[in-house]
C-alpha cells in the first residue's frame, strides 16, 4: 500500500505554478499585498522578507513576456525570406538579365553558370555565400546596375535577419531560464512565509488563509496557447472570465493577418470589435479592447484565404 506524503511537506506554491508564470505572479503579489501591514511588526517582517524576491520575479516575468514569440517569428522570417530568394527574387533577376544577355552568351554563363540552382539548393549559409558571389560578378556588367543594387539590398536584408536571429535566440533562452529560476526562488520564499505565519497563528490557523490566493493555488489553469490556424477560418482558443484590465499578449507567428476577439459562444464569429495583429508581430492589449466583457470565448480569425497561420496568446 502506497503511503502519501504529508501535504505540509509539499511546496504547494511550486506545484500550483509549474508551467504557469502567470499563476506565480498572481499568488506572489496577493501574498505580498496582504502582508503589507506596517502596524503589525511580525506580519510586516514577512512583507519585508518577501518584497525583493517578488520584485525580482516581476522583472524576470516581464522580460519573459517581452521575449515570447520573438524566436519563432525570427525563425519564420529567415525561412520565408530564403523562400523568396529561391523563387521570386532569382526569377526576377534571371529574367532581367536575359533581356540583355541570352542564356548562351558568355556574360550570362559567367553570371549564372548553374542557373538558379545555387539560390534554391543547399544550406541557408551556402545560399547567402552564393548571393554575395553573384553580387561580385554583377559589378561593372553593362545594363545590370539596377539588378546589382537590388541584389545588394537583399543581401543586407538576409544578413540582418541571420544576425538578429542569433541574438533573439540567445535572449529568449536567457529570459526563459531567468523567470523559471525566479519562480522557484519565490515559491521557496512563500513556503517560508507560510511557515512563519503558522507559528504566528498557531492558535488560530484559519487566519492564515487571508494571506494567500487560495483560488489560484487550488485551480491550475492554462495561461499560454501556441497553435496553428487554417486559412480563411475562425478557431476557438479558450474560455475564461477576465477583468477589463487583464492583459493578453497576442503574437502572430506567420505571414497572415490575424484577428483576435472574445465572442458570445464557442462557435461565434468576429464582427466589429477585435484586435488585428499584422504578420510576424505582437501586441499587448487589455481584455476590454477585445469585445463585450461579458463574453468568455476567445477566438482567432485567419484573414488569408490560402495560407495557414500560427499564433501564440498568453494571459499576463
Residue range 23-47, pLDDT digits in tens? 899 999 999 999 999 999 999 999 9
CATH no. of 223-315? 2.60.120
SS3 per-residue string spanning the chain: CCCCCCHHHCCHHHHHHCCCHHHHHHHHHHHHHHHCCCCCHHHHHHHHHHHHHHHHHHHHHHHHHHHCCHHHHHHHHHHHHHHHHHHHHHHHHHHHHHHHCCCCCHHHHHHCCCCCHHHHCCCHHHHHHHHHHHHHHHCCCCCCHHHHHHHHHHHHHHHHHHHHHHHHHHHHHHHHHHHHHHHHHHHHHHHHHHHHHHHHCCCCHHHHHHHCCHHHHHCCCCCEEEEEECCCCEEEEEECCCCCCCEEEEEECCCCCEEEEEECCCCCCCCCCCEEECCCEEEEEEHHHHCCCCCCEEEEEECCCCCCEEEEEEEC
Nine cell digits for residue 104: 548562351
249 beta partners: 284, 314
Residue range 70-125, pLDDT digits in tens? 555 555 556 777 787 888 888 888 998 999 998 899 999 999 888 888 888 888 78
Contact 240, 40 (CB under 8 A): no
SS3 per-residue string spanning 204-232: CHHHHHHHCCHHHHHCCCCCEEEEEECCC
Residue range 234-292, pLDDT digits in tens? 999 999 999 999 999 898 888 789 999 999 999 999 999 999 998 878 888 999 999 99
pLDDT value at 68 more than 90:
no
Angle between helices 124-138 and 145-200 (to 10 degrees): 150
Closest CA to 301 of 226, 225, 230, 222: 230
Phi, psi of 113 (to 5 degrees): -60, -40
Contact 297, 242 (CB under 8 A): no
154-158: average pLDDT: 80
Residue with cell 487583464: 246
Model-level pTM? 0.55
Each domain of the chain, given as residue ranges in start order, spans: 1-221, 223-315
Q: What per-residue confidence (pLDDT) applies to 210? A: 95
SS3 per-residue string spanning 121-134: CCCHHHHHHHHHHH
CB atoms within 10 A of CB 23: 22
Q: Tally the residues of the chain.
A: 316
Amino acid at each position: 500500500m502506497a503511503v502519501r506524503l504529508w501535504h505540509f511537506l509539499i511546496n504547494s506554491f511550486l506545484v500550483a505554478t509549474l508551467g504557469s508564470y502567470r499563476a506565480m505572479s498572481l499568488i506572489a503579489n496577493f501574498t505580498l499585498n496582504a502582508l503589507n501591514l506596517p502596524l503589525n511588526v511580525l506580519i510586516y517582517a514577512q512583507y519585508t522578507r518577501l518584497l525583493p524576491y517578488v520584485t525580482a520575479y516581476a522583472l524576470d516575468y516581464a522580460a519573459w513576456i517581452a521575449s515570447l514569440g520573438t524566436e519563432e517569428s525570427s525563425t519564420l522570417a529567415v525561412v520565408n525570406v530564403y523562400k523568396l530568394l529561391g523563387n521570386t527574387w532569382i526569377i526576377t533577376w534571371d529574367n532581367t538579365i536575359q533581356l540583355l544577355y541570352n542564356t548562351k552568351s558568355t556574360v550570362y554563363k559567367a553570371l549564372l553558370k548553374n542557373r538558379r540552382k545555387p539560390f534554391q539548393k543547399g544550406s541557408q549559409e551556402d545560399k547567402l555565400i552564393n548571393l554575395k558571389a553573384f553580387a561580385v560578378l554583377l559589378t561593372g556588367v553593362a545594363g545590370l546596375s539596377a539588378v546589382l543594387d537590388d541584389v545588394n539590398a537583399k543581401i543586407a536584408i538576409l544578413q540582418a535577419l541571420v544576425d538578429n536571429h542569433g541574438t533573439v535566440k540567445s535572449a529568449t533562452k536567457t529570459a526563459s531560464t531567468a523567470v523559471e529560476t525566479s519562480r522557484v526562488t519565490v515559491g521557496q520564499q512563500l513556503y517560508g512565509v507560510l511557515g512563519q505565519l503558522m507559528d504566528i497563528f498557531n492558535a488560530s490557523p484559519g487566519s492564515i488563509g487571508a494571506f494567500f490566493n487560495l483560488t489560484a493555488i487550488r485551480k491550475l489553469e492554462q495561461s499560454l496557447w501556441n497553435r496553428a490556424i487554417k486559412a480563411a477560418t475562425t478557431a476557438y482558443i479558450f474560455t475564461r472570465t477576465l477583468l477589463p484590465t487583464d492583459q493578453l499578449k497576442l503574437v502572430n507567428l506567420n505571414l497572415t493577418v490575424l484577428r483576435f476577439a472574445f465572442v458570445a459562444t464557442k462557435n461565434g464569429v468576429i464582427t466589429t470589435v477585435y484586435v488585428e495583429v499584422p504578420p510576424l508581430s505582437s501586441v499587448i492589449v487589455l481584455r476590454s479592447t477585445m469585445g463585450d466583457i461579458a463574453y468568455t470565448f476567445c477566438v482567432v480569425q485567419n484573414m488569408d484565404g490560402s495560407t495557414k497561420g500560427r499564433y501564440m496568446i498568453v494571459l499576463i
